[in-house]
Structure 1
């Protein structure tokens, strides 16, 4: 056919065609996809597809059910979803069962706030009525959070989550604490704990945060009253002296029972020699003080003393022989006439203070431990080792603080009471105050009420960390936990050392809370002999435990607080029920969440590992924020080691906290918060998920408007590359091309898929999602869009339908699409689902039932890759030269160019042999020469041995492909196109005529 009129050749080009939009519209599209997943029951289909596989179990650490989710929740849940999706797509049965922590103070606190707003008194409400309100509150927020999590694209068993307040769960939690009771690990002790006066409960370390606080600081004399065993001269010197302490908690002075010093510190006896001290100065000439030498100058400065004499050093054995009077002995209060011994303690330093530590065993962990360690020695000296209860749960002094009963340390609003003032006045009256000031420092506060806490001695329930268990003296809860840590994989590695150090140094595990909303410590205590029921010395453990668990499973933990509960549970099991007290304390919520493995991993068929014990094929992962080393990771470890001897997990993965763009902690007051709900509304959940996978989440990450813009830009590039592949694959008929028949460029792309397959699988196993996004992002945008697709567009659009080159390219693009989209599916579930449906053309399928593609290792060709790395190096120089030509408007497109490329590097020149340089450079013509380049040729400093002299292509412009070649018009049937295009048109016309 001879063309007699100008023809529109655009209809003969195989241009990309797709309904996959360039603009994602994720905020609108994603809810439609979620509805589709619900309609097709995707969760059930995933479970059915994986039912015979080994299990990869990500056990969900329960978020707290008391408010909308925040950005930290979004990061955490997205990471979990990426884990389960990626493991499912690599051949595991990887299930996700969401859970919620429902008990505890935060919810109880909210209900109390509502009561206070209505003028209602919690103490006048029946406890189970109050507990019902707490349960209703938790249920409401579970519903809210469930939908917010689902909107993130989190796939899981949302219809059957685990809740710590489910009756069956409460029965199991009670059963777990009763295991500790029967094994003898649970005990009731008196110990200083962190106490919130505002919330009237003991707090765990995980419930504490530190804020600036201004404290009163005092320097106090303890007059020496005895120096037993020392020679007469030394005794005379020291009996006339006083030991000086410094403290920022004056209110603890009534609880003082000792002074701690360190045998590693140098101490000395000093005498004040200054004559001109004011009469009202608390230190006067002739006063003798014992101080650490390194701190003496600072103490005298605080006491407004400028002249003093160093009399002599005081040895550690001399300090050990001293006994002091309590500084309130002469205050006229009564009750402080006991002796105060000096105890050698490792916790004493000479960094601050006086080198001596005022020791109140009821108000500090170090104080308590040194007092208890010295107990026998003290009693041998006739010193009572009893620890006083000087402060009640409401912050008021008790009668065991003589002279101060009724004074208040902390008010119910968390403000300073009058205790400090009254103690300071009493010390002045006794003549033993030598310095007074204020100190602004970091002080522990409750993370809920944001109010300061105190340390106070209270009866609490503990689990022994170092009591020998079944395996003898070396088998303790601490030793079991340390061994379990050694057996566990930690990501990052530093998490192992962090948790180990916490376990090595932690005191006994305090479990009790004096609240109402939670699972009770379901034991009875005999008031005569301290026995527990259930307990190691109780004969009817099995029956009692069965009764309690059955009642809880039927009625919930409310059964414990119902009228007649004691009689109901003990009926017929004890002869003297009046001697047994029902424990009313509830368990710390960390014990609740630490027990979740017992009623989830061991009870639910969809979570239960196939193996019995550690070492099987199944795998259990715990994933939470790094703060959970002192929270859920630790409580789960201790609970499981105490009852089963091993950790409940095989691996622990941690992430950091999310900061604003400047690295500041997000807060309402700063107005720097990023809310996941806003990100989803503006951009879509896939943008938030891409951000999650792009950051080094195991460290603290940053998010904000500018960072999100960068994420959106990265997403747009990924999406456009996927869109182009979809458009090109419209023309793919499914015809395979043998590897041996493919051009090198196609074989190079298959080689890259083989490389990436190994990288992606390894990175998913190592939870290194940033590596996946980096490499796949670079592959899609740099290697595919900017290189391979750019080079192949001419062949794909213009080659004849029969062209092997075109068929091979389409075959490879199909492989590229299948691999890349499935690899990205765990991270971008919405976008990849949309693309998959567009590609497959069926609404009955889903990408999330796919497995990662099996990429043949026969595709690997390292030598080919080495060659093409050199080819692309030369191409970079040519591209740079042509960019200047375009910028200077000497050419419009690269097809107008004919570069001459001077390659004097032998290796680069050899790599170009047999390569169609014009095709790779996307020019109409190209010349490669080994000759030296003329002066002024274009070069890149980093590429030696390559120079480019741009030139213009010669010949006519092809009306179809726009290449400029001398052979345009060589086919008389198609006089305005190249012979290649003429052949394509001939096939096109024949096919159209046949149709």
Structure 2
């Protein structure tokens, strides 16, 4: 007999009654038992950090995931639904740094990596109970008992295996590139991370003079919004094809060289200046000038402090003369390398430490944080007659997504995954996936893939999966380890944990007479772990090999639009490992269907 529907329903009470019924009868596990022999429907759940509490976005995305996987189950499939936890990386480390007032690597060295990582481990599951309560309260069926954590040794072992496959295919290299660098977190960030947090800011705007050695009464003038990079100046760059002028400032009598199209950067009216000569930029090639500072004057012996050419100098901003600090600007670095002003085998002119403070070479500003030093550098330039003009400039500038501090651009040695050569294949595999809404695939994500760059996967940090490379001091001999068994075979030591404190001291005998090989100090960017999740959650290929291969690629994933540069870039890591991996290893995309939900504003 069907019970009559009551005249009024108190929905919160009904929800609690249903949840209690599901709990008493263990309905979720019972459903999994009943369906275990059915065809499998594969679902990947993007894991959260338990260092923060769930918010509306998690609840919305989780509801969509629950609807689709329930429907698949009711349509005759077996659907494993495992909850996962991101445990490594900056989100955890930044919390510890704030709590313990850690300012940089020296503070970590004093306390020791083992203690630092112990502190991180203590907070990674801080809000796990709140997560389970909230997810359960929403009525979502997902397996918390059979979860995975990125800190599990077996998960980390698969991450090593993933990297080893890329290494064996020649997709891993060590390089120096100018990258966004977080001075608060003491580590470089990927370009996609730096794109997450742009702000409109007022920065200083200065025009500085560089007297020609052939005639110090004539000065090239360059504009910059980063005065802190001026102590590292090694060259000036002009456009060889555009028109330049020698111009006299009628009010001061001083003579400058600048781009004709950029006279407006210094003068308000034509009455303020007199043009003395016109010539193409290429006329200036190789001309020597007087350095601003004496810190790196010796670099002049190897070609520094001269005018170089490049087409990246445009007529839209500045003076048409661009100051080159090669280790703080990507174009600067490229141009100076091409002109042999920077040498790969020479120590870089990079007098800024990982906390963003000037090192001993910059004697006038040593110890000062670079952004704070701007005003002191401007004062120094003015007192010595090198400042032509100063003001402020409003522009959009990247901030660290974790610490909300300004990023700087800095050349640092990093380990990279080659991606640029496979852009067409990435796009082809992306086209095989069914996206809802479709425009995200074609536009936002597709455009991003078209601009894909080689990916810096190393981080100068502590709490993460260590990069499994053991190298000689000169990096000429490199061994990539792909499993714990291989590590034991090569070192003679059996380990049960793969974090830095457990393996950093292990050495591998050199086969080339170079003594012993030591592990590089870096850990993986935690996005690399997230991208390895489909493999690592199954401990592939060490376990579940056939089961995984029979159900790959996944039938379904889902994520919010705000995450197309977060975990969804990890679906660029699932498009940088999966797509790079699934393309390189399996020749197919990592998933078949994806739902991208909108934002919840609250």
TM bucket by the smaller chain?
A: 0.7 to 0.9
Alignment check: 8 A CA contact 1:595 1:640 kept:
yes
1:297 equivalent among 256, 264, 275:
264
Alignment check: 8 A CA contact 1:50 1:93 kept:
yes
Bigger CA radius of gyration: 1
Kindly indicate whether residue 429 of structure 2 is the aligned counterpart of residue 484 of structure 1.
yes
Alignment check: 8 A CA contact 1:103 1:165 kept:
yes
CA displacement at 1:262 relative to structure 2? 4.0
Who is 2:133 aligned against? Answer: 147
| Deviation string, structure 1 residues 109-167 (Cα, Å, up to 9, x no partner) | 222333239xx965433422332332231123223212211111111112112211122
Kindly indicate whether residue 292 of structure 2 is the aligned counterpart of residue 328 of structure 1.
yes
How far apart are the structure 2 equivalents of 1:461 and 1:577? 22
1:391 equivalent among 352, 377, 385:
352
2:368 equivalent among 394, 400, 408:
408
Who is 1:638 aligned against? Answer: 576
Q: State the secondary structure of the residue aligned to 1:449.
A: coil
CA displacement at 1:306 relative to structure 2? 5.0
Structure 1 residues 717-866: aligned runs within 5 Å: none
Closer, same or farther: CA 621–224 of 1 in aligned 2, 3 Å: same
Structure 1 residues 317-356: aligned runs within 5 Å: 317-319=282-284, 321-325=285-289, 327-328=291-292, 334-335=297-298, 337=300, 339-356=304-321
Who is 2:154 aligned against? Answer: 168
CA displacement at 1:393 relative to structure 2? 0.9
1:583 equivalent among 514, 520, 531:
520
Closer, same or farther: CA 346–162 of 1 in aligned 2, 3 Å: farther
Who is 2:164 aligned against? Answer: 178
Who is 2:204 aligned against? Answer: 216
Alignment check: 8 A CA contact 1:224 1:323 kept:
yes
Closer, same or farther: CA 652–366 of 1 in aligned 2, 3 Å: farther
How far apart are the structure 1 equivalents of 2:511 and 2:374? 48
CA displacement at 1:395 relative to structure 2? 1.9
Alignment check: 8 A CA contact 1:171 1:549 kept:
no
| Deviation string, structure 1 residues 199-226 (Cα, Å, up to 9, x no partner) | 2222234444122333211112233457
CA displacement at 1:250 relative to structure 2? 0.5
Alignment check: 8 A CA contact 2:57 2:560 kept:
no
| Structure of greater relative contact order (alpha carbons < 8 Å, 6+ residues apart) | 2
Kindly indicate whether residue 535 of structure 2 is the aligned counterpart of residue 598 of structure 1.
yes
RMSD: 3.6
Who is 1:942 aligned against? Answer: none
How far apart are the structure 2 equivalents of 1:106 and 1:575? 40
Kindly indicate whether residue 596 of structure 2 is the aligned counterpart of residue 648 of structure 1.
no
Closer, same or farther: CA 99–547 of 1 in aligned 2, 3 Å: farther
Who is 2:458 aligned against? Answer: 512
Structure 1 residues 172-211: aligned runs within 5 Å: 172-208=158-194, 209-211=197-199
Alignment check: 8 A CA contact 1:460 1:510 kept:
yes
CA displacement at 1:532 relative to structure 2? 1.3
Q: Which has the higher strand share?
A: 2
How far apart are the structure 1 equivalents of 2:232 and 2:321? 16
Closer, same or farther: CA 548–657 of 1 in aligned 2, 3 Å: farther
Alignment check: 8 A CA contact 1:621 1:652 kept:
yes
Who is 2:388 aligned against? Answer: 434
| Deviation string, structure 1 residues 753-781 (Cα, Å, up to 9, x no partner) | xxxxxxxxxxxxxxxxxxxxxxxxxxxxx
Who is 2:256 aligned against? Answer: 288
With 488-497 and 631-640 compared, the bigger mean Cα shift is at 488-497
| Deviation string, structure 1 residues 392-417 (Cα, Å, up to 9, x no partner) | 11222235x5544614234xxxxx43
Who is 2:78 aligned against? Answer: 93
Q: State the secondary structure of the residue aligned to 1:24.
A: coil
Closer, same or farther: CA 271–115 of 1 in aligned 2, 3 Å: closer
How far apart are the structure 1 equivalents of 2:544 and 2:405? 44
CA displacement at 1:190 relative to structure 2? 2.1
Kindly indicate whether residue 497 of structure 2 is the aligned counterpart of residue 556 of structure 1.
yes
Alignment check: 8 A CA contact 2:61 2:558 kept:
no
Who is 1:420 aligned against? Answer: 374
Q: State the secondary structure of the residue aligned to 1:159.
A: strand
How far apart are the structure 1 equivalents of 2:207 and 2:279? 20
Structure 1's unaligned 5+ residue stretches are 1-15, 227-235, 278-283, 411-415, 467-475, 660-672, 674-995
